Amino acid sequence: MKVRKLLCVLLALCLSPSLAAEAGVVLVLSGGGTRGFAHIGVIEVLEERKIPIVGIVGTSIGSLIGALKASGYDAAEMRRIVGDLDLPSLLAENTGPMFVFTGNDRRARTSTVSALTYKKSGRQRGPLGILTGDKLYQYFTQLMRHVTVTDFYDLPIPYAAVATDIRTGEKVVLHGGSLPSVMRASMSIPALFEPWEINGRLLVDGGLVSNLPVDAARELFPGIPVIAVDVSESPSRDRELNSYIDVIDQSLAVMMRKTTGEEGKHADLLISPRVRNFSFLDSTKADDIIGRGREAILPHMDEVARLSDLGPGILDLNGTRFTSNIVGDVQVEGLSDGMASDLRKRCLVWVGRPLDRDRIEHAVQRLTESPSIATVDYQLGRTASGDVLVRLDVRQSPELEIGVSGYTTNLHHNRWLYVKGVARGLFSDYDNLSGVLRLGEQWGIDLTYQTAPESMNAWEVNLAAHNWRIDSSDGVRDWDRYAVGVNRLFRWGDVRLGVGLAYEHVEGTRGASSDGHNAVGPTFFAAYDTLDIPGDPTKGHAWRLNAWWPNLEELNYRLTYFKPLEVGDNWRTYFRLGYAEGDMDFRSHAAYLGAAEELYSVSSRPVEAERMVWANVAFRRILNRSVLGIVAVELFGSYGYAMDREYKKIASPWEVGLAVNFPNNIIDAKLAALYGSEEFKVGFFLGVPIWDHYPLP
């Protein structure tokens, strides 16, 4: 037996140039949801006893904890990370404010209940998971911003993760590439998270085929003792199934039982922390779960010490160290040659300058605003001369997407069903055609074609046909509107500009008299946006100006300002100001205070005006976070002032309200009690309105 072990050691030393003659063990970390926090307790004890960890192989949560340790985090830092972890917020993907809207285009903020995507090959794909996991992926990117290697053997501790190819059912061992991307792939619980694509393979949770990847560790690190930590749960007949989360958890336990048990037999030491009573998505008991890991490993430390003396260790290659902080080159992966070349040219301004991570991360965030790009990850490496190499790993969006959503409320008659779609890469790599069809008491359709994303200079063509009906303070306004516009868009960092020309034909009625007209004139758009998180910002601010000069007679414009403030982990404050000018000579051009939801209490009878100003303030408290979304309460107040052409007061409505919000991953739900200048009202809202009336093309 001893001879065989010696031969294995010698063979390992011959085959792997990174091996050295020092002691150590390989850790194998299983999947099991947040029960995997127990892995930190095991690592903590090994650090205290100075047991060298010379390799890590993990699945699912084991791959996440393993990646943290392998990339340089110690147990104390990992305790802090999971202690501060707000898992529900990372999983909930539709958690923005209720009644104070951001400075972003509201048409882009609406969620879809269901969606279909198509490839150019004609393949159809519906939603592949309840959650996209994009926020979680971005969080991994932040955690791994210090990693400078793409070969995981060059990490401070060599590392690999296990995933499952959902198409073939094959085990996929990942030991190179983008570390955040590998982490995201390994934890893609089927049905809960969308699969993650790497090198053309659609990957899900590795626990389906190898929840305790001892065999992979044996292949990657031959001759080195393996300590396996199993935090998975065996299926229980007595378990109560009260939610779809419980069903997923029980299903995973059934699927993983066999593979976990078989591979566990091949470990030199198997550690099984007592974590059965913890939910697999409960991040609130991190310290207790970590303590269970400590309790499980401590009785076995004599055996651990003996095992660590048997095998060779692996050298720290210091892969995270730079000889220079100057950016030497930029590489782009995941895009077509043309798109990659264009993107690289735009990023070459970084070359020759000191590494500025904030600038790179800001650029990455802006890139994700492009309709053609789904996600962007960046990694840091080294050039041959020792300078910093910036690698951008980009995932393109599907060529065609079709989604369905809706909006309804009891406060006014605007109840709609939306059908939304976007086609990308029609005539070039960047162009896209997007459209929204609105079905309801007021019909409408919008089509927009862009030659390039807004992150680049682009041409834009808009076609629109709408029916509007507004029960205003001066009577019922009803008209059909047909419009076409051409715009040239520019962008410099946080600043966006647009100039163009628009034409409209309006057929309308005001009682028995016609209000139809034709108008043509220049348009102008400007925006300055430094908001940090799209949809639920915590800092920064946004200015937005839309203007149209029909027939060069009366300038119509709308100016808004939005400012969020984070005043605690669960507190937000939002401020919004606005001013608009219209033209009451043309009722479709008038400014309607309340029609764009500046004040909800008058939305059923908006105030028709020439000029208007409004202000909103809201205080938001998050009460509960879950996988599906959050529960929040919001106290808000609004004030508006409507004027005629001579700046004389028409009306000055106000309101205060208390609302409960249930933003979730399916559709927004709101319930509000409003008291205003008119009367007390109770309103409910489902969905987000995609169009509001503006007197602008």
pLDDT at 12: 40
Contact between 376 and 316 (Cβ < 8 Å):
no
Residues 6+ apart with CB under 8 A from 64: 36, 58, 140, 183, 186, 187
Considering only CA atoms, which of 317, 492, 411 is closest in space to residue 682? 411
- Token reading at 394: 């980009």
Written as one string, the DSSP assignment of 624-693 is EE-SSBEEEEEEEEEEEEEE-TT--EEE--EEEEEEEE--BSS--EEEEEEEESS-EEEEEEEE--S---
Helix ranges restricted to H, 17-97:
38-48, 61-70, 75-83, 87-91
Burial label, 649 (beta-carbon count in 10 A; 0-12, 13-18, 19+)? exposed
pTM over 0.85: no
Question: Residue 499: pLDDT band by 50, 70, 90 thresholds?
Answer: very high
Q: Are the C-beta atoms of 96 and 630 separated by less than 8 Å?
A: no
> Are 506 and 479 a contacting pair, CB within 8 Å?
yes
pLDDT at 507: 87
Q: Please, what sign has the CA dihedral across residues 690, 471, 97, 562?
A: positive
Query: Which candidate, 222, 175, 231, places its Cα nearest to that of 198?
Result: 175
Confidence of residue 4 (pLDDT cuts 50, 70, 90): very low
Strands 159-165 and 201-205: antiparallel
3-state helix, strand, coil in the chain (%, to 5): 25, 40, 35
Q: What is the pLDDT at residue 121?
A: 47
Q: What are the tens digits of pLDDT across the range 217-244?
A: 988 888 889 999 998 865 555 555 555 5
> Does the pLDDT of residue 323 top 90, yes or no?
no
Tens of pLDDT, residue by residue over 145-185, are 788 777 888 899 999 999 999 888 889 999 888 888 899 88
Contact 396, 334 (CB under 8 A): yes
* Rounded distance between C-alpha atoms, residue 321 and residue 386, angstroms: 10
Among residues 256, 250, 252, 255, the alpha carbon closest in space to that of 237 is found at 250
397-437 confidence digits (pLDDT tens): 777 878 787 788 888 777 778 888 888 888 877 788 988 89
Q: Give yes or no for residue 659 having a pLDDT over 60.
A: yes
Predicted pLDDT at 107: 35
pLDDT at position 104, please?
A: 41
Tell me the pLDDT of the chain averaged across its residues.
78
The amino acid sitting at 396 is Q
Distances (CA, A) of 589 to 505, 585, 696: 12, 8, 7
The number of beta carbons lying within 10 Å of the beta carbon of residue 663 is 25
Question: Cα torsion for 343, 349, 355, 360, to the nearest 10°?
Answer: -40
- What are the φ and ψ backbone dihedral angles of 357, each rounded to 5 degrees? -65, -40
Higher pLDDT, residue 332 or 461: 461
Please give the share of the chain, as a percent, with pLDDT higher than 90: 25
Model pLDDT, residue 557: 93
